[in-house]
Amino acid sequence: MAEPTRTAKLTIDDKVIDLPIKSGTIGPDVLDIRKLYAEADVFTYDPGFTSTAACESTITYIDGDKGELLYRGYPIEQLADQSHYLEVCYLLLHGELPSGAQMRDFETRITRHTMLHEQIHYFVRGFRRDSHPMATMVGVVGAMSAFYHDSLDITDPWHREVASIRMIAKLPTIAAMAYKYSVGQPFIYPKNSLDYAANFLHMCFAVPSEEYVVDPRLAKAMDRIMMLHADHEQNASTSTVRLAGSSGANPFACIAAGIACLWGPAHGGANQACLEMLREIGTVDRIPEYIRRAKDHDDPFRLMGFGHRVYKNFDPRAKVMKESADEVLGLMGIENNPTLQVAKELERIALEDDYFISKKLYPNVDFYSGIILDAMGFPTSMFTPIFALSRTVGWISQWKEMIGDPTQKIGRPRQLYTGAAMRDYVDVHHR
């Protein structure tokens, strides 16, 4: 754990409180306020946690000004270019890149856990066919605790390990089942002969009536999308997983909570909302109207896929995703895809506009991902489930780090109360 490097002095009325300042490896120092309420009888106030570090972590680092994203110290650009998703999973979970033998063992364990308990097929069939796949994901992942009783004890490292492997392995199968169910096609079982991303594409797009061969170039693009979404520090859904986990809830319930939070359009739901926005804009001549609306405070419309709480220069994932979009659409022979043209022109115009420049709004990870997924044949409703299955390893890594921290306590924020002071009950006849 980081140790204090110096002390800040806080003066409240006639009292001076010493607050330790702790430094990390890189990034901003933190003011340790854990004793503030006991010593000064005041809380800090930070509703959106814009200036609050909720934990100490060694997993992912983001520098919003430099546009840097590091997984265990490795830049996302290098991993996206040289690694693959399961290797990134190992890195996030264990802190180091695996040896050849460690990678083969890890890949075998994941592959052998991709099938689901057969009873879950009946659970999925309980949903309406027109359910949003995210509803199915939240329900099925939460229900996994009803099926896998031998990996629920969070105090048992082996239970934690098995639950982690099971979720990383089974989330693609669940997402594919949700998709197949929504289009009325039979479920396709995982194939152990395929790698992780290819297996997911096969489970989504194969049909029993004919052989489906996954294009390795599309599998590589899907694998890259998964890597780009794998983890992202203490974002809203990761913080949800940590908070749920702090109560001792079982790992499946915690990940289901993370999926639920990710669904929101301000978070992981933005990839679906962004493609729907680009389609609504339709042609580049309609872009100025939407730029005007995005700048109008009286209009709730925002440019989906734009802006970020941390990135105030550019989102390095968006840069990689934009290159991948050009590659995949070129591969599909649709490089003149109108949606991609609108996206590129919208980005160009916005980045020259003082409103976006002054508010440091740039394309984020969700701006181009939907264009690629759409070109691959996914409906917009599957965009956030793909984000969720990719982020599962990040949620689990952060959850394991928290559970393994001997100092961790149940998360229980306080408040600034501005409601009614104490008053006596008034009988209805006297109101």
Cα separation, 232 vs 242, in Å, equals: 13
DSSP state string for 115-129: S--THHHHHHTTS-T
149 an active-site residue?
no
Closer Cβ to ligand SDX, 22 or 302, answer by number? 302
Residue facing ligand SDX at closest CB distance? 307
CA distances in angstroms from 376 to 188, 220, 363, 369, 380, listed in the order given: 18, 12, 21, 11, 11
Closer Cβ to ligand SDX, 154 or 361, answer by number? 361
- Shortest distance, CB of residue 67 to ligand SDX, whole angstroms? 12
Cα separation, 296 vs 291, in Å, equals: 9
Residues 224-243 that bind ligand SDX (CB under 6 A): 232, 235
Q: Is 370 in the site for ligand SDX (CB under 6 A)?
A: no
Site string for ligand SDX, 270-289 (x = CB under 6 A): x-------------------
Contacts of 81 by beta carbon, 8 Å cutoff, 6+ apart: none
Alpha helices in 41-188 (DSSP H): 76-82, 85-94, 100-111, 119-124, 133-143, 157-182
Strand pairing report for 15-22 and 30-31:
antiparallel
308 an active-site residue?
yes
Judged by CB under 6 A, the residue of 22, 94, 109, 302 near ligand SDX is 302
Q: Is 197 in the site for ligand SDX (CB under 6 A)?
A: no
Q: Is 398 in the site for ligand SDX (CB under 6 A)?
A: no
Alpha helices in 229-353 (DSSP H): 236-246, 251-262, 270-281, 287-295, 316-331, 338-351
Residue 168: left if φ>0, alpha if ψ -120 to 50, beta else—which one?
alpha
Q: Is 366 in the site for ligand SDX (CB under 6 A)?
A: yes
Judged by CB under 6 A, the residue of 164, 246, 364, 392 near ligand SDX is 364
Closer Cβ to ligand SDX, 172 or 305, answer by number? 305
- Shortest distance, CB of residue 188 to ligand SDX, whole angstroms? 29
Cα separation, 303 vs 428, in Å, equals: 49
Q: Is 305 in the site for ligand SDX (CB under 6 A)?
A: yes
Q: Is 397 in the site for ligand SDX (CB under 6 A)?
A: no
Residue 392 phi/psi, 5° resolution?
-55, -40
Cα separation, 63 vs 221, in Å, equals: 25
Nearest residue to 91 via CA among 57, 59, 63, 55? 59
Q: Which of 308, 326, 374, 427 is catalytic?
A: 308
What tokens appear for 58 in the block? 């060694």
Question: Which region, judged by CB under 6 A, interacts with ligand SDX, from 140-148, 170-178, 181-189, 306-314?
Answer: 306-314
Judged by CB under 6 A, the residue of 266, 348, 377, 404 near ligand SDX is 266
Alpha carbon of residue 213 to chain centroid: 29
Q: Is 180 in the site for ligand SDX (CB under 6 A)?
A: no
Site string for ligand SDX, 341-360 (x = CB under 6 A): ------------------x-
Contacts of 391 by beta carbon, 8 Å cutoff, 6+ apart: 229, 230, 231, 232, 237, 238, 258, 262, 268
Residues 20-59 that bind ligand SDX (CB under 6 A): 48
CA distances in angstroms from 220 to 78, 177, 196, listed in the order given: 15, 22, 10
Closer Cβ to ligand SDX, 207 or 266, answer by number? 266
Number of amino acids touching ligand SDX (CB under 6 A): 22
Q: Is 159 in the site for ligand SDX (CB under 6 A)?
A: no
Q: Is 145 in the site for ligand SDX (CB under 6 A)?
A: no
Question: Which region, judged by CB under 6 A, interacts with ligand SDX, from 18-26, 110-118, 218-226, 364-372?
Answer: 364-372
What pairs with residue 75 in β-bridges? 70
Closer Cβ to ligand SDX, 21 or 266, answer by number? 266
- Shortest distance, CB of residue 121 to ligand SDX, whole angstroms? 31
Residues involved in catalysis: 308, 366
Give the residues lining the site for ligand SDX (CB under 6 A): 48, 232, 235, 266-268, 270, 294, 302-310, 359, 361, 364-366
